[in-house]
Amino acid sequence: MKGAWKAVAGAVMIVGALNHGAAAQEATPQPPPVQLPEPSPEDVAAATELAAVFEDFCLKRFPDDEAVKAGAQDLTAMTPDQVKGILKDDPGMGWYKRTPLALYKITLELPPYHACAVRRMTANGIPTVKPYLAAVTAFAAAQGRPLQGGQAQKMNLPSGPTVTLFPQAIADATGQRVQTQFMVLLTNYHHQYGGEDYVGGVGLEVRYVRQEKQP
């Protein structure tokens, strides 16, 4: 995250679910009450795999940086320029993981913003986030603390893409401050994406993020 999005994330962490409790849960955007077509098995498999990669690196290994790096030892490391293209001026590293279903970009952002993220390009998005929600809900339950929802945020970037952010959080032991912030970010490039991982459609990047509050 960078610039305005750090401000958005910061505002969510301070004002979000901790101050609103159940009301914040209700504020989480709900899908429209329409009959949508059943997703194909391939689309469901893609959504499941994305959540599994996030769970492996960002739930099971992170925030142990060495564990993240150990898990990525057989992956293709990003060059410094490729890392900078994602993290901008923030310190960190990244890797590419290619499967028969997708090319994933895994990034480890080092403090002061300690975060782990997994992203992949899609044509028009993924049909479900249920595998992701199941993973983060189980993670929160293992901590003995509830997963709380926050208000969705939307931003039109000057360069053209539209970014929509859906935050969730886990409080620290005091229950007064956010310890762990989760974010789903959807970046719609409106047919203007020119990256090597373009797969057609409008070009919509799906990103899952876990960020840990620093002491």
Q: What pTM was estimated for this model as a whole?
A: 0.83
Surface-to-core class of residue 115, CB atoms within 10 Å of its CB (0-12 exposed, 13-18 middle, 19+ buried): buried
Instruction: Please count the CA atoms within 13 angstroms of the CA of 208 that sit on its side-chain side.
Output: 26
Closest to 212 (Cα-Cα) out of 61, 56, 35:
61
Tell me the per-residue pLDDT of 106-132, one tens digit each, with 9 for 90 and over. 999 999 999 999 999 999 999 999 999
Tell me the per-residue pLDDT of 32-76, one tens digit each, with 9 for 90 and over. 455 556 778 888 999 999 999 999 999 999 999 999 999 999 999
Q: What is the DSSP letter of 132?
A: H
Residue 33 lies in a domain: no
Residue 97 lies in a domain: yes
> DSSP readout, 59-93?
IIITT-HHHHHHHTTTSEEPPHHHHHHHHTTS-EE
Domain of 195, in residue numbers: 4-28+39-212
User: Residue 40's pLDDT is what?
Assistant: 82
Residue 114 lies in a domain: yes
| Non-local CB neighbours of 60 within 8 Å, separated by 6+ positions | 67
User: Residue 36's pLDDT is what?
Assistant: 53
Reduce the DSSP state of residue 171 to 3 states and report it.
strand
Residue 34 lies in a domain: no
What is the rounded average pLDDT of the residues 139-147?
A: 93
The two structure tokens encoding residue 184 = 């789903």
Domain count within the chain: 1
What is the rounded average pLDDT of the residues 144-157?
A: 93
